[in-house]
Amino acid sequence: MNAPDLTYFRKGFGLKQDVEATLSADYSGQVVDRLRAHDYQLTLGDLTVRLAKEFGFCYGVERAVEYAYQTRHKFPDRRVFLVGEIIHNPHVNQRLREMGIQILMPVDGVFDYSVISAEDVVILPAFGVTITDLQTLRAKGCVVVDTTCGSVLNVWKRVEAYARDGFTSLIHGKYYHEETRATASQVEKFPGGTYLVVRNMDEARDVTDYLEGKGDRAAFLAKYGKASSHHFDPDVHLRRIGVANQTTMLARESLAIGEFVGQAMASVHGDAYRRENFRTFDTICSATQDRQDAVNALLLERPDVMLVIGGFNSSNTISLAALCAEQVRTFHVEDALSIDPARGTIYSRDPKTGEQVETTGWLGDGTRTVGLTAGASTPNNKIGDAVVRVFATRGIDASALG
> 336-371 pLDDT, tens per residue?
999 999 999 999 999 999 999 999 999 988 889 999
Instruction: Enumerate residues 6+ apart whose C-beta is below 8 A from 273.
Output: 265, 266
State residue 280's pLDDT score. 93
Quick: pLDDT tens for 68-115.
999 999 999 999 999 999 999 999 999 999 999 999 999 988 999 999
307 vs 4, more confident: 307
- Which domains are delineated in the chain? 28-58+287-401 (3.40.1010.20), 60-148 (3.40.50.11270), 151-284 (3.40.1010.20)
pLDDT band at 281 (very low <50, low <70, confident <90, very high): confident
Query: Could you read off the pLDDT of 250-266 as tens digits, one per residue?
Result: 889 999 999 999 999 99
* 3-state SS string for the chain: CCCCCCCEECCCCCCHHHHHHHHHHHHCCHHHHHHHHCCCEEEECCEEEEECCCCCCCHHHHHHHHHHHHHHHHCCCCCEEEECCCCCCHHHHHHHHHCCEEEECCECCECCCCCCCCCCEEEECCCCCCHHHHHHHHHHCCEEEECCCHHHHHHHHHHHHHHHCCCEEEEECCCCCHHHHHHHHHHHHCCCCCEEEECCHHHHHHHHHHHCCCCCHHHHHHHCHHHECCCCCHHHHCCCEEEEECCCCCHHHHHHHHHHHHHHHHHHHCHHHHHHHEEECCCCCHHHHHHHHHHHHHHCCCCCEEEEECCCCCHHHHHHHHHHHCCCCEEEECCHHHEECCCCEEEEECCCCCCEEEEECCCCCCCCEEEEEECCCCCHHHHHHHHHHHHHHCCCCCHHHC
- Rounded to two decimals, what is the model's pTM? 0.92
Predicted confidence (pLDDT) per residue in 286-339, tens digit: 888 999 999 999 999 999 999 999 999 999 999 999 999 999 999 999 999 999
Q: pLDDT, tens digit, for every residue of 16-71?
A: 999 999 999 999 999 999 999 999 999 999 999 999 999 999 999 999 999 999 99
Higher confidence at residue 148 or residue 6? 148
| Dihedral of the alpha carbons of 163, 168, 169, 174, in degrees to the nearest 10 | 130
Is 179 known to be catalytic? yes
For the cut 60, the answer to whether the pLDDT of residue 133 exceeds it is: yes
pLDDT of residue 2: 56
Residue-level pLDDT at 25: 95
pLDDT band at 3 (very low <50, low <70, confident <90, very high): low
Output Rg (C-alpha) for the chain, integer angstroms. Answer: 23
Give the pLDDT confidence score for residue 400 in this predicted structure: 80
Question: Which one is catalytic: 54, 160, 178, 179?
Answer: 179
pLDDT of the residue at 193: 97
What is the widest separation between alpha-carbon atoms in the chain?
71
